[in-house]
A and B are shown apart, each in its own frame.
Chain A
Amino acid sequence: MKRTAALLLGAALLGSCYRVPKPTAGISAAVPAARGDSRTLRVFIWSEYIDPDLVKTFEKHSGVRVILDTYESNEAMLAKLQGGGAQYDLAVPSNYVVQTMVRAGLLQPLDRTQLPNLKNIAPGFLNAAYDPGNTYSVPYQYAATGLAFNRSRYVPQDTWAEIFGPEDRLSFVLLDDPREVIGAALKFLGFSANTTRVAELRAARNLLRRVVAKRGFQGFDGGPGTRNKLLAQQIDLGQIYVGDLLIATEENPDVQVLLPRQGTTISMDTLVILKRSASPALAHQFINFILDARNGAQLSNYTYYATPNAAARPHLDDFLKDVPALNPPPSWLRDGRLDFIGELPTGRPQRLYDRIWTELKSR
């Protein structure tokens, strides 16, 4: 998986060298009429990330056909869009990819007047560093990274020390993602998950060296793999995106997830409108539809990911309301305990992150 992602990223860079000529305004205006595109909305999204019934409702509501195409990583999505492959109206990048897409000229600014439901989003999730003023993106759903366990095997304290502490009696896996692993170590040490300070990164590296040398360390894994290992009681603990774990609770209520008190990383997936969109008005209509309170709740009830939509909270399934990990206290956003995984400045810090990760993976 990682290899593929790396290849795709390389491909994206390759693709970005080639500049797709931008269609002039006259032509792009002529496109929808010529192809009847005003009756189709093309959405590029992660798999299983929207309730099909919600899509049907929108189709009925607006009289258009919605085409959902899926991708499996931000990198793959970016590679395809940068190559000028297909025409989509909307995409769902994670927050740290938004600026990359802006710089690549892939996005168009949003028209606020067409998004009255934007008022439903909790203020803490607006105007974030990845897109000041929400010029290009609207929060869709987010995932905090938590500590997952199977309570019939082991019930942990709400601290990263369960993994990063000196003890070595528990078996655990870490997420197969550099920013998540290094980020968690940084949070445990009391630093920002996006730090560029060399001393702080060195401390994280030294800590992680000890952690992966533990006998209990069972390797790096993705969300589904970690979930399966917990269900099969092969490990005590796992670092995981909260949503990826919660979806298994309906089959086995013994698997649970918590957020460590030192704080953790979150990543926000966002809705953006692509510059090449054939029907921006329709795209705005769709975004506004998603931002509706009931629709926002229906999304989370289906995906088990957290909603940034404050008005949607009352409409969530009771089960989801009761999971603390899905609803971190709002104060956590303010006091810096929740860090959005941010884009790293190129140069020394980025190289340090890369080097730490390479070293950990090559053990």
Chain B
Amino acid sequence: MTGRTHPLLGAWAALVYLFLYLPIVVLIVFSFNDSRFGATWAGFTTRWYAVLFARADVREALTHTLNVAVVSTLISTVLGTLVGLGLWRYTIHLRAALTGLLVLPIVIPDVVMGVSLLMFYAFVRAGLERAGWTFDNGFWTVLLAHVTFQISYVALTVRSRLAGYGPELEEAARDLGASGWQSFSKVILPLAMPGVLAGALLAFTLSLDDFVVTYFTSGSGFRTLPVLIYTNVKRGVTPDINALSALLVLVTVVAVIAANALLRPRRAP
């Protein structure tokens, strides 16, 4: 865009950003408030962070959260990248329908996804129980659930990263003597890499933040941080939970900024 923008536009933008970020700022500020109820400022303290790190249930939930986030990100990045490349590379029958299916997990309400997975798992378990096996929802069910919605994000970022390039890229590589594998590993993948990494970071933060799907697909004794935080709201959030939320926000913001930096269009080499 060229030309001057109206000064009021800048003020408006500032207001919008203030509206978006003020609650988060308030949350972070109040995680340092020396009052249990956080209604009034009672002085600065870091004791809630100490309380937080002393809580065994928080440490356990953190372990669960990170285990699920790391493993599901690895799986969904590999699968999602393959899907993204496939959609870019091949003019297959029903491509529009396939792309639509891919977008579905992004637009579908979390509750619907969570409940449908819950019922699916119950169905599978009933079958297994009849065969004499037992399992309870837990790490694996949550992991699978996360992978199902992460794949879409990875596939779409990979595909949009490659959107500007045509199939002639691969043809050129083959003309210059590259094997199929070489053209993939030396040409296509490096080009797609920013998209892959950005998708992975998005997938990671989504897994880190997800409450609804995790709530429905987790079993007894398997709690992640968002579930821990959200189910604390009934009697009012305690300040150590504010501290935890502040830390989660921090991690998410860093990851999203990194993802954006990776996705920023660069001049073609």
Contact = CB atoms under 8 A, between A and B. Distances in A.
B105 interface: no
A127 interface: no
A47 B40 contact: no
B57 to A, nearest CB: 8
Interface stretch (B129-137, B173-181, B193-201): B129-137
A69 interface: yes
Given A14-B115, A35-B134, A86-B136, A47 B235 contact: yes
A85 B216 contact: yes
A199 interface: no
B146 interface: no
Interface string A61-90: 000000101111100100110011111100
Nearest to B42: A251
A71 B36 contact: no
A347 interface: no
A21 interface: yes
A229 interface: yes
B39 interface: yes
A87 B219 contact: yes
A53 to B, nearest CB: 13
Contacts of A83: 115, 118-119, 122, 216
Given A8-B111, A11-B115, A80 B235 contact: no
Contacts of B227: 70
Nearest to B109: A7
B234 A231 contact: no
A231 B121 contact: no
Contact of B220 (A30, A69, A227, A231): A69
A72 B35 contact: no
A219 B236 CA distance: 18
B221 interface: yes
Contacts of A80: 118, 215-216
Most chain B beta-carbon neighbours within 10 Å: one of A11, A47, A71:
A47
B21 interface: no
25 contacts: A7-B111, A11-B111, A18-B123, A34-B134, A42-B220, A47-B234, A49-B235, A70-B228, A72-B232, A72-B233, A76-B215, A80-B215, A83-B115, A84-B126, A85-B137, A85-B216, A85-B219, A86-B219, A223-B236, A224-B233, A224-B237, A228-B39, A228-B236, A232-B40, A244-B235
Given A14-B115, A231-B40, A251-B36, 19 more contacts: A1-B233, A11-B112, A27-B129, A35-B134, A47-B232, A47-B234, A48-B234, A70-B228, A72-B233, A83-B119, A83-B216, A84-B121, A84-B125, A85-B118, A85-B121, A87-B136, A223-B236, A231-B37, A248-B36
| Chain A to chain B: the 3 pairs with minimum beta-carbon distance, closest first | A224-B236, A84-B122, A83-B118
